[in-house]
Amino acid sequence: MISTNLNFKVLGVGAWGLSFRNGADLRNVLAGQELEDDGAKGPKPEIIPANERRRAPLSVRLAVESSWQAVQGSGVDVQDLACVFVSGLGDTQLTDYMCTALAKETKALSPTKFHNSVHNAAAGYWTISTGCMQAANSIAAFQESASATLLEAVIQAQADAKPLLLTFYDAPVSTKLRSMLKNEHAFSLSIVIAPCDVQDAGAINVSVERTTADWPALSGTPELQACYANNPAARILALAALTDAPDGTISRLPLSAETALRLQKVS
Amino acid sequence: MEIHLIDYQSTSAAGRNFAELQQSIDTHQSGLRKNDFPDIDIDTWIGRVDGLEDVELGEWQSRNNALAWMGLQQGSILSNLERLKHQYSAARIGVVMGSSTSSIDRTETAYTDLDDDGNLRVEFIQAKVHNPGAPSLFVAQHTGVTGPSLTINTACSSSAKVFATGARWLQAGIVDAVLVGGVDTLCGSVLYGFHSLQLVSTEQCAPFDQARDGINLGEAAGYAILVRADHDMTALEAPGIALVGYGESSDAHHMSHPHPDGLGARLAMQQAMQMAELEPKQIDYVNLHGTASRANDLIEGKLIESLFPKSTRVSSTKAWMGHTLGAAGITEALLAVDALQRGVIPGSKNLQELDEQLDITIQAENDKRKCHYVLSNSFGFGGNNSCLAFKNIATS
């Protein structure tokens, strides 16, 4: 019922999480391969200067690592790329740090941890590390974080008529908050997207439908399934799964109480 | 671009609703008070909203949601949303909220009251509250708006950027109306956080003053309803205001210090004017970010000096309600809109002696004059900048 003419294609992919360390690994995992876990606790993105990298929390390092991979693979100059970051949970390790410190008799916060606690810390570190002065956004929409932000980013790319970096990331939840926010997995996926015509190779058509939807089932290992279920950013795997699906495949993602995001792999 | 505002509201220490805020502006009555926030031992002034402790929200309980709820009750926001739902359907309306704290106030409270095993008590197990998207979840739920919704969390530019996103959604045609808003509340994280950065003043803040020595924190909620210019206005008493441009940029400099030459802020202002097809000389008034920190006001003031002629009036309104962080963007955008609507340019309250390095058209007193075009600046941590351009539809 609700129709718009939004089409985009993916110019570059970056990924870091579970046992995958780049976009190619992730594609293999989605195809059912089991990759050997290298035991890494988190990425060390080379684009962040070493002194800043030491202060960067895991959530930021995840987001910046996959972002840099995606931009390098996209062929687009990083200076030209607006960016949209989405994390459904925020940095719960820093939430835990601040709330623990503030529950004490003598309250004091580290200034670095305080400025790192803003939800747009990843966007901040990214633009500072790359020198990019374009628009940067940082978004959350709880369980619909991935679908709502994909819609927002595709609309922005179309409005600006230029490519845009889009990064979905959520780190494991701190112990106390895990009683309600279940996520145990580090996950980040970045895509550089460009607005395109519907007949372009690789075009994905996006529209908003007045209907409700459940998150589509995802094939893969139990660990991947758990990540998809509990990590709000990892819900974007529903888009990644379209990559190797037949042309014409349609996927509907929950978007709001009465709408769904319809994605169609056109070609 | 032309996106119409059909209604707006604001709740802060300077007024529970927009009419009260206008009265505070007209009488130069600040809402700031000596810090009396429970369990926060910092010598400063705050913009605290009375009555939030009495709002009962059950499973949605948090101070931030209480302020979001109080803001929604003001003026005709809810009745206009009902009218729009009838006209277009609830699924054709979007919600875009901005916030920096979301409901971390509630998480802080939960941590002061852990059970014997060090776990959260059952009344605090509120997944929909303890997350950064809480404001849009809460507002969608409590307005019955069922279209796309999300929360922008870019620190102190959050609720300026909601206008840009709302405008794009309307232009893309995915919705027919958007409720944009901002809400942020005082809590330990922000008071002790800004204190740790040595940015908090022990006095009432004095933006752009030679003797300014820091910020006052405040809390606020603000809302605006946006529609496309082709919206049928016949049933409405619309205020006659349009969003005509926005700019969004990054400093690419530092997480908590502004770019020394204001490069990112300059880009945002230039983009907003370019989108609105306006020259600097056409801008009657700029509501400045003007936090009253030494760095921000000097850099922003120098930027104004280099971009605008002296005919452009500027002021910071933060001495009325404090720096309301993620709610500052919309709170101050609406004060700029009010200058268009009523012809009252708010003074830069508490300004006694302008920073001697600055030469800009700024004064403490209000200035009554007809305005056609105004801008509003909002800058946040992470070097995140936004500038909004509005016009008076009837006179421009």
ipTM here: 0.97
On average, the pLDDT of chain A sits at 95
Determine if the pTM surpasses 0.95: yes
CATH 3.40.47.10 assigned to A6-265: yes
Tell me the pLDDT tens digit for each residue of A142-184.
999 999 999 999 999 999 999 999 999 999 999 999 999 999 9
On average, the pLDDT of chain B sits at 97
Tell me the pLDDT tens digit for each residue of A220-257.
899 999 999 999 999 999 999 998 899 999 999 999 99
Share of chain A above pLDDT 90, in %: 94
| Of the partner residues B104, B132, B194, the one whose CB lies closest to the CB of residue A140 | B132
Please answer yes or no on whether B137 and A142 come within 8 Å at the CB atom: yes
Average pLDDT over residues B184-189: 98
Q: Is B10 on the interface with A (CB under 8 A)?
A: no
Q: Is B1 on the interface with A (CB under 8 A)?
A: no
Which of residues 374 through 393 in chain B touch A, CB cutoff 8 A? Answer: 380-384
Task: Choose, from B156, B187, B205, B371, the residue flagged as catalytic.
Answer: B156
Q: Lowest mean pLDDT of A63-67, B159-163, B236-240, B353-357, name the range.
A: B236-240
Interface test with A, best of B153, B157, B183, B253 (most A CBs within 10 A): B153
Q: Is B98 on the interface with A (CB under 8 A)?
A: no
The residue type of B181 is G
The residue type of B334 is L
Average pLDDT over residues A208-214: 96
Which of residues 349 through 378 in chain B touch A, CB cutoff 8 A? Answer: none
pLDDT of residue B237: 76
- Among B366, B367, B368, B348, smallest CA distance to B358 is for B348
Whether the pLDDT of residue B117 is over 80: the answer is: yes
Task: Choose, from B4, B195, B231, B289, the residue flagged as catalytic.
Answer: B289
SS3 readout for chain B: CCEEEEEEEEEECCECCHHHHHHHHHHCCCCCEECCCCCCCCCCEEECCCCHHHCCCHHHCCHHHHHHHHHHCCCCHHHHHHHHHHHHCHHHEEEEEECCCCCHHHHHHHHCCCCCCCCCCHHHCCCCCCCCCHHHHHHHHHHCCCCCEEEECCHHHHHHHHHHHHHHHHHHCCCCEEEEEEEECCCHHHHHHHHHCCCECCCCCCCCECCCCCECEECEEEEEEEEECCCCCCCCCCCCEEEEEEEEEECCCCCCCCCCCCHHHHHHHHHHHHHCCCCHHHCCEEECCCCCCHHHHHHHHHHHHHHCCCCCEEECCHHHHCECHHHHHHHHHHHHHHHHHHCEECCCCCCCCECCCCCCECCCCCEECCCCEEEEEEEECCCEEEEEEEEECCCC
Whether the pLDDT of residue A3 is over 50: the answer is: no
Structural domains of chain B ordered from first start: 3-228 (3.40.47.10), 244-392 (3.40.47.10)
Residue with token string 């739902």: B85
B235 band by pLDDT with thresholds 50, 70 and 90: low
Tell me the pLDDT tens digit for each residue of A27-54.
999 999 999 989 998 999 999 999 999 9
pLDDT of residue A2: 44
Would you kindly state where each structural domain of chain A is located, as residue ranges?
6-265
Average pLDDT over residues B39-63: 97
Nearest-5° Cα angle at B175, B173 to B178: 125
Whether the pLDDT of residue A1 is over 60: the answer is: no
B259 is an active site residue: no
Cα torsion A131, A137, A138, A142 to 10°: value is -150
B372 is an active site residue: no
Backbone phi, then psi, for A19, in 5-degree steps? -105, 5
The number of residues making up chain B comes to: 396
Q: Dihedral of CA B238/B239/B245/B247: which sign?
A: negative
Nearest chain A alpha carbon to B40: A107
Helix, strand, coil abundance in chain A, percent, nearest 5: 40, 20, 40
Please answer yes or no on whether B149 and A100 come within 8 Å at the CB atom: no
B130 is an active site residue: no
Whether the pLDDT of residue A210 is over 60: the answer is: yes
pLDDT of residue A4: 63
Average pLDDT over residues B64-79: 98
SS3 readout for A149-218: HHHHHHHHHHHHCCCEEEEEEECCCCCHHHHCCCCCCCEEEEEEEEECCCCCCCCEEEEEECCCCCCCCC
Q: Is B261 on the interface with A (CB under 8 A)?
A: no
